[in-house]
């Protein structure tokens, strides 16, 4: 297997003009493209036998679609995955009211969830670190 190469390219921008980047990691058998917006897996290409390559995930070709589409395609969700009924959770006896972003429920981390945040990124020898 060949070493993993890492590249970074512009992929779009947020409403405030902040750039969004796509990081592509590639070796002989896989090519993964990950955005620094929501740490979204935008593309995963898998090399099969011979020269056949197959797309193995859902993703959008244009960044703007991630902002307008209601799905969480390729995204890291959280802090909580799924719904928290009435946006309320009790931790160690204390009830916390969370924002409600799906009717009365708190869904996938709410309004400031991981999937709609611009993450800090740093390339390393054979990968990318998001924080």
Instruction: List, for residues 83-100, the tens digit of each pLDDT value.
Output: 999 999 999 999 999 999
Question: Do 53 and 25 share a structural domain?
Answer: yes
User: Is residue 1 scored above 80 in pLDDT?
Assistant: no
Question: Do 107 and 52 share a structural domain?
Answer: no
Q: What is the pLDDT of residues 16-46, one digit of tens each?
A: 999 999 999 999 999 999 999 999 999 999 9
Whole-number Å distance between alpha carbons of 117 and 4:
27
Around Cβ 45, how many Cβ atoms within 10 Å?
16
Question: Do 42 and 12 share a structural domain?
Answer: yes
| Three-class DSSP category at 129 | strand
Number of domains in the chain: 2
Q: For a pLDDT cut of 90, what percent of the chain falls above it? A: 77
Question: Do 1 and 43 share a structural domain?
Answer: yes
Whole-number Å distance between alpha carbons of 131 and 124:
13
Question: Do 71 and 93 share a structural domain?
Answer: no
Question: Do 100 and 45 share a structural domain?
Answer: no
Question: Do 131 and 98 share a structural domain?
Answer: no
Question: Do 9 and 34 share a structural domain?
Answer: yes
Question: Do 83 and 69 share a structural domain?
Answer: no
Q: Mind giving me the DSSP string for 1-32?
A: -PPPEEEEEEEEE-TTS-EEEEEEEE-SSEEE
| Domain extent at residue 55 | 1-76+113-131
Average pLDDT over residues 64-90: 90
User: What is the reported pLDDT for 79?
Assistant: 84
């Amino acid at each position: 297997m060949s070493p993993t190469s890492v590249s970074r390219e512009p992929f779009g921008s947020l409403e405030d003009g902040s750039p969004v980047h796509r990081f592509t990691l590639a070796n002989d058998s896989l090519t993964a493209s990950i955005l620094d917006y929501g740490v979204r897996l935008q593309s995963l290409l898998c090399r099969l036998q011979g020269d056949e390559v197959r797309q193995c995930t859902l993703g959008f070709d244009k960044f703007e679609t991630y902002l307008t589409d209601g799905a969480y395609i390729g995204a890291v969700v959280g802090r909580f995955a799924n719904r928290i009924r009435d946006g309320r959770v009790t931790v160690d006896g204390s009830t916390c009211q969370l924002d409600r972003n799906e009717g009365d429920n708190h869904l996938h981390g709410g309004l400031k969830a991981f999937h709609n945040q611009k993450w800090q990124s740093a390339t390393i020898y054979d990968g990318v670190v998001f924080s």
